[in-house]
Amino acid sequence: MSQQNLNQPVWTALVTPLTATGQPDMTSFERLLREQEEAGNGVLILGSTGEALNLSPEERRLIVEFTTSLDLQVPVMAGVGGHHLPDIISWLSYLETRPIDAYLMVTPLYSKPGREGQFHWFSTLMGFVSRPVMLYNIPGRTGAPLNLETVQRLSEHRNFWSIKEASGSVDDYLEYRQASNGAVMYSGDDVMLPDFAAHGAAGVVSVAANVWPHATRLYCEMAVAGSLTDDDIALWRRAAGSLFVASNPVPAKAVLAAEGRIRTPEVKLPLHRNDMTSMDLVRRCSEEIGEWYRTQASDSGHQRADSTFGGTGRAAEHADHAAGQAEAPSRR
């Protein structure tokens, strides 16, 4: 484990690069991990952005073993999701043998448990592990919100550390903050970060940081400091939104492949790369983020990294190639 402070301003919900035949591409994966390390961002592996539920158990273990073998100088968190308790306990038994710093635990999928079901679910999982836990509220994916009374009851648990709030509501964020009895609060949505930061959020669990690791770090630091302008906020809302023109992580992978940072834009079914029908919006946004970062980094003395946006314009150079890949028939 990294021995680093878990309360990082940015945790990057990292994509899982794939080969053309759909296998984890560890060369590309290491490149992305090193980008995040250089930016100083915590790394979340095997979240929904990492397509964890679409990977086989062997593939998930490969991701964990590879990540923890690199001795990264940033903390690593592993996603824990599903709704079959024995399978999740088995997965946690394995994770406990690896140098993972924290776990992200999401409300059980599909079954829509209520207050008691959620409490006993989370308390069982949290009691099984030895590392800090971030609870994850994303009712748009799970079908049910994280129960406020459950949060209050779990707030004294020895492993309760933080909440990732992704309902898109400031009112909900404030209710979770109060119920959590001082837990560290994170925005689960890049777009909502300025709104949540105004009410004490420590940072963001970010999709955008896959594409713009250094720029997202600076954006988050400025949001937490309250120094973003209205124009800054509008730009980031537009840019972060462009990464959801198709189901996440299809757009992020398309951009990364266009820039040569991963080898293919492949995703696991039921997602498909062909759902990214145009690169135009995300290309424009990427260029704007690159210019924003160059200006802001120069003004603030922030360490620039032009290869990872700080942008180099590579998105523009390769956009037509990426669009062609997205529109080509799948070989699978």
Looking at residue 142, its pLDDT comes to 87
Find the mean pLDDT for residues 164-188.
96
pLDDT attached to residue 300: 65
Q: Going by DSSP bridges, is the β-strand pair 42-45/76-80 parallel, antiparallel, or unpaired?
A: parallel
With bands split at pLDDT 50, 70 and 90, how would you rate the model's confidence at 305? low
- Report all structural domains of the chain as residue ranges with CATH numbers, in order of start: 10-327 (3.20.20.70)
What's the rounded mean pLDDT across residues 148-153?
97
d(CA 227, CA 272): 38
**How confident is the model at residue 320, as a pLDDT?**
39
pLDDT over 90 (residue 211): yes
Indicate whether 240 pLDDT > 50: yes
Q: Who has greater pLDDT, 321 or 143?
A: 143
- 204 by DSSP, 3-state: which? strand
Q: Which residues pair with 45 in a beta bridge?
A: 78
- Residue 204 to residue 16: CA distance in whole angstroms: 19
b/e code 182-204 from CB counts within 10 Å (16+ = b): ebbbbbbbbbbbbbbbeeebbbb
86 burial (CB, 10 Å; 0-12 / 13-18 / 19+) is: exposed
Place of tokens 């160059």: 294
> What per-residue string of b and e applies to 231-248 under the rule 16 or more CB within 10 Å gives b?
ebbebbeebbbbbbbbeb
Q: Which residues are catalytic?
A: 136, 164
User: Percent of the chain beyond pLDDT 90?
Assistant: 84
Residue 319 has pLDDT above 90, yes or no: no
pLDDT of 66 above 60: yes
Whole-number Å distance between alpha carbons of 309 and 311: 4
Do residues 76 and 42 lie in contact, with contact meaning Cβ atoms separated by under 8 Å? yes
Average pLDDT, the chain: 90
Cα 135–chain centre separation: 14
pLDDT band at 67 (very low <50, low <70, confident <90, very high): very high
Q: Is the model's pLDDT at 137 over the cut of 80?
A: yes
Mean pLDDT calculated for residue range 9-33: 98
Q: Using the predicted structure, report yes or no on whether residue 304 has a pLDDT greater than 80.
A: no
- Over residues 212-235, the mean pLDDT reads 98
pTM of this structure: 0.89
